[in-house]
């Protein structure tokens, strides 16, 4: 996103996107988050080029080798190796690909389902509204991680099922948010005008009203990225998400647990990767919230 | 006020019935035969299978099964564990005190640190202190607590040897479980040093579990304080010549606390549901560890009953928070009474 050249005519108001970018770029935390996200995304996309080794490549001569800058470290392995001689840096880089994919898939699916449910509840009201929102209440009655675990328990452990579980768990947030935004938009004149002009319900829902409900959804989606990465890592850590030898950050941590006393680096770096990525999305989400809608500011 | 309480309480019932539907569906949605899944590799003889089918009622029509389930739950029967054969309700309440103890300590940690942090950040808005507090808060909020807990163990238990690695009490002591709360039980017992041991076992789990609530409370307190500090009554209090401390701590904070109390209450509800990750890492014998073990053992009746009990606890806590909110915020109460 870059700011186009400003309009020479001073009186004309700047394009809304320019204005949002100006507010956003003033927030140093948000810019830091954005920079981190760019770096992580770059590393994830070009993992094959950036990573020194493959994620499952084993070096039989270097089990639990400490990071290269420490005494006894092997210069080949910057962040050291794990218990079966795999380069931790390479596994973290491939793990970034996995975590960002998890975030993207979960947020996309949750947006699609949640927004549709919220739109239906807001538009049709009555029984549809009650049914949808009660269902969401029921799902919110359980802690998110517990509900995700129960869903994985039913579907069976694995990365795909973990993603499904995390998606189901976050849908109520998007549905509630959309319904709230729709209800506040429905009474506006432009909706009535569109209706009078003969717009059908689908057009009203997705083309007329939805674009005006986007601000809170964009913020929620950005913050949802971090939530999804965190929850999927937690499931991986509990052995219910990605299975070994997949280089998923959470399951890397779980495998490293038994070496915590002998080799701190196998435990430290995967967690740091999770923290930095999650932090980046949270910082950017906060910045977006402030830029998109000052009223939303917590 | 009574009408207000009844109104809020009645709202729980449909959600509760919905959760029973969810837990009922849970066992039926397991792909394949749940009995075979629970039996595991040993397998089941056809005769035993038929007996179990009848015992669990899987041979009846679905609607009838749900009716029976609902009646059982209404009668306080939440099923029996396949592994231990004990009633789920009994197993739940054996572990619940451990979870409550940990949740309360974590919450106390979060409030004692988070609230002053938020207040200071609001009062010193835009300064280095504000940025430091908010930076800490967003980091805490982003923390994968399973990793944070491991780091705490690595540093304080393994390297420094200050605190124990896991459990609730050192193996040197034996304390009768009179209340289930280790802090109280160890005080009641004759064992010297047992209380100190119980406290030292609680520190790291409380810090790990309290970190995210702490971050949320600090952020909430700061933004709530910022709103209140601009109000006329705060200016009046300042103009009266009250000390800055009194203005902030008494006049502003009291009003800023209303939304913070809600956040604290809701977070407590979630902590009371059992801290799955923290309890797993510290081998804390609470609800969270119990549930995840039941999931791993495919002990479906325990998962089913446990989830329903957890949901019930959360609903009750949320109701209490709602009511408390009505008490501390008269505007809500009067609005509800008028309608």
Reported as a single tens digit per residue, the pLDDT across B77-135 is: 888 887 788 888 888 988 999 999 999 999 999 999 999 999 999 988 889 999 999 99
What pLDDT, in 10s, does the model give residues A46-99? 988 888 888 888 888 877 778 878 877 777 888 888 888 888 898 999 999 999
- 3-state helix/strand/coil string of chain A: CCCCCCCCCCCCCCCHHHHHHHHHHHCHHHHHHHHHHHHHHHHHHCHHHHCCCCCCCECCCCCCCCCCCCCCCCCCCCCCECCCCEEHHHHHHHHHHHHHHHHHHHHHHHHHHHHHHHHHHHHHCHHHHHHHHHHHHHHHCCCHHHHHHHHHHHHCCCHHHHHHHHHHHHHHHHHHHHHHHHHHHHCCHHHHHHHHCCCCHHHHHHHHHHHHHHHHHHHHHHHHHHHHHHHHHHHHHCCCCCCCCCCCHHHHHHHHHHHCCCCHHHHHHHHHHHHHHHHHHHHHHHHHHHHHCHHHCC
Q: Which residues of A touch B31 (CB under 8 A)?
A: 154-156
Interface predicted TM-score (ipTM): 0.84
Which residues 221-250 of chain A have a CB within 8 Å of chain B? 226, 230, 233-234, 237-240, 250
- Rounded to an integer, what distance in angstroms lies between the CA atom of residue B291 and that of residue B81? 11
Across the interface, whether the CB atoms of A141 and B219 are under 8 A apart is answered no
What is the residue-averaged pLDDT of chain B?
84
Residues above pLDDT 90, as percent of chain B: 20
Q: Which residues of A touch B310 (CB under 8 A)?
A: 142-143, 146
Across the interface, whether the CB atoms of A150 and B303 are under 8 A apart is answered yes
Q: Which of A261, A263, A272, A254 is nearest to B161 (CA)?
A: A261
Q: Does A2 touch chain B (CB under 8 A)?
A: no
Query: By CA distance, what is A298's nearest residue in B?
Result: B223
Q: For residue A267, give the nearest of B154, B291, B311 by CB distance.
A: B154
- pLDDT of A16 > 50? The answer is yes
Residue-level pLDDT at B322:
81
- pLDDT of A241 > 70? The answer is yes
Helix (H, G, I), strand (E, B) or coil at B206: helix
- pLDDT of A194 > 50? The answer is yes
Q: Does B289 touch chain A (CB under 8 A)?
A: no
Q: Tell me if A240 sits within 8 A of A149, measured CB to CB.
A: yes
Q: Which residues of B touch A154 (CB under 8 A)?
A: 26, 29-31
DSSP state of B41: G
Q: Please tell me the distance in Å from A43's CA to the nearest CA on chain B.
A: 21
Query: By CA distance, what is B148's nearest residue in A?
Result: A271
Rounded to two decimals, the pTM is: 0.85
Q: Does A130 touch chain B (CB under 8 A)?
A: no
Residue-level pLDDT at A297:
44
Q: Please tell me the distance in Å from B192's CA to the nearest CA on chain A.
A: 31
Across the interface, whether the CB atoms of B138 and A283 are under 8 A apart is answered yes
Q: Which residues of A touch B18 (CB under 8 A)?
A: 134-135, 137-138, 141
Q: Is the peptide bond before B315 cis (omega within 30 degrees of 0)?
A: no
Across the interface, whether the CB atoms of B144 and A275 are under 8 A apart is answered yes
- In this prediction, residues B203-225 reach a mean pLDDT of 92
Q: For residue A253, give the nearest of B22, B30, B147 by CB distance.
A: B147
- In this prediction, residues A191-209 reach a mean pLDDT of 86
- pLDDT of A298 > 50? The answer is no
Q: Does B330 touch chain A (CB under 8 A)?
A: no
Q: Please tell me the distance in Å from B190's CA to the nearest CA on chain A.
A: 35
Residue-level pLDDT at B243:
85
More confident residue, B279 or B1: B279
SS3 content of chain B, % helix, strand, coil (to 5): 75, 0, 25
Query: By CA distance, what is B28's nearest residue in A?
Result: A154
- Rounded to an integer, what distance in angstroms lies between the CA atom of residue B129 and that of residue A146? 36
Residue-level pLDDT at B325:
77
A277: confidence class by pLDDT, cuts 50, 70, 90: very high
Query: By CA distance, what is A28's nearest residue in B?
Result: B131
Q: For residue A149, give the nearest of B153, B158, B276 by CB distance.
A: B276
- pLDDT of B3 > 90? The answer is no
Q: For residue A261, give the nearest of B31, B158, B276 by CB distance.
A: B158
- In this prediction, residues A17-40 reach a mean pLDDT of 87
Query: By CA distance, what is A280's nearest residue in B?
Result: B142
């Amino acid at each position: 996103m870059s700011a186009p050249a400003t309009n020479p005519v001073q009186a004309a108001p700047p394009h809304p996107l320019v204005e949002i970018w100006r507010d956003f770029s003033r927030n140093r935390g948000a810019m830091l988050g954005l920079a981190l996200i760019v770096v992580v995304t770059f590393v994830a996309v070009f993992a094959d080029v950036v990573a020194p080794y493959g994620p499952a490549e084993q070096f039989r001569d270097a089990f639990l080798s400490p990071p290269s800058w420490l005494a006894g470290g092997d210069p080949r392995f910057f962040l050291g190796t794990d218990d079966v001689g795999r380069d931790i840096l390479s596994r973290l880089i491939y793990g970034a690909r996995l975590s960002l994919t998890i975030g993207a898939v979960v947020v996309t699916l949750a947006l699609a389902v949640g927004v549709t449910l919220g739109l239906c509840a807001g538009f049709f009201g009555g029984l549809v509204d009650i049914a949808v929102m009660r269902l969401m209440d029921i799902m919110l009655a359980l802690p998110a991680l517990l509900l995700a675990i129960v869903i994985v328990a039913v579907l069976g452990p694995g990365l795909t099922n973990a993603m499904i579980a995390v998606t189901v768990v976050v849908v109520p947030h998007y549905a509630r948010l959309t319904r709230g935004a729709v209800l506040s938009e429905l009474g506006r004149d432009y909706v009535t005008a569109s209706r009078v002009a003969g717009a059908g319900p689908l057009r009203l829902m997705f083309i007329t009203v939805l674009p005006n409900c986007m601000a809170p959804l964009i913020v929620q989606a950005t913050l949802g990225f971090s939530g999804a990465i965190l929850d999927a890592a937690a499931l991986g850590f509990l052995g219910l998400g990605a299975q070994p030898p997949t280089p998923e950050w959470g399951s890397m941590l779980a495998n490293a647990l038994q070496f915590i006393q002998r080799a701190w680096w196998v435990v430290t770096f995967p967690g740091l990767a999770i923290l930095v990525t999650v932090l980046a999305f949270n910082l950017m989400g906060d910045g977006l919230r402030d830029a998109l809608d000052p009223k939303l500011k917590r | 006020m009574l009408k207000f309480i009844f109104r809020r309480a009645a709202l729980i019932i449909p959600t509760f019935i919905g959760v029973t539907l969810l837990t009922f569906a849970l066992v039926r949605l397991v792909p394949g035969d749940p009995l075979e899944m629970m039996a595991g590799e040993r397998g089941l003889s056809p005769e035993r299978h038929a007996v179990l089918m009848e015992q669990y009622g899987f041979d009846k029509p679905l609607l009838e099964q749900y009716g029976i389930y609902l009646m059982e739950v209404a009668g306080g029967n939440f099923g029996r564990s396949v592994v231990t054969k004990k009633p789920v309700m009994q197993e739940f309440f054996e572990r619940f005190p451990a979870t409550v103890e940990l949740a309360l300590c974590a919450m106390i940690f979060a409030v004692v640190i988070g609230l002053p942090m938020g207040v200071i950040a609001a009062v010193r808005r835009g300064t280095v202190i504000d940025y430091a507090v908010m930076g800490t808060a967003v980091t805490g909020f982003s923390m994968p607590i399973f990793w944070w807990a491991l780091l705490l163990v690595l540093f304080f238990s393994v390297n420094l040897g200050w605190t124990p690695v896991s459990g609730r009490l050192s193996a040197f002591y034996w304390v009768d479980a009179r209340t289930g709360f280790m802090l109280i039980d160890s005080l009641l017992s004759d064992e010297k040093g047992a209380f100190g041991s119980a406290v030292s076992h609680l520190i790291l789990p409380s810090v790990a579990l309290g970190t995210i609530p702490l971050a949320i409370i600090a952020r909430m307190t700061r933004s709530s304080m910022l709103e209140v500090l601009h109000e006329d009554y705060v200016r009046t209090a300042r103009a009266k010549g009250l000390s800055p401390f009194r203005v902030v701590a008494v006049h502003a904070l009291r009003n800023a606390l209303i939304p913070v109390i809600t956040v604290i209450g809701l977070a407590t509800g979630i902590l009371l549901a059992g801290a799955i990750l923290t309890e797993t890492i510290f081998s804390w014998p609470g609800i969270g560890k119990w549930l995840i073990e039941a999931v791993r053992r495919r002990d479906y009746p325990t998962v089913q009953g446990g989830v329903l009990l957890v949901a019930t606890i959360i609903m009750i806590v949320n109701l209490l928070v709602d009511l408390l909110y009505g008490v501390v915020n008269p505007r809500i109460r009067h609005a509800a009474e008028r309608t």
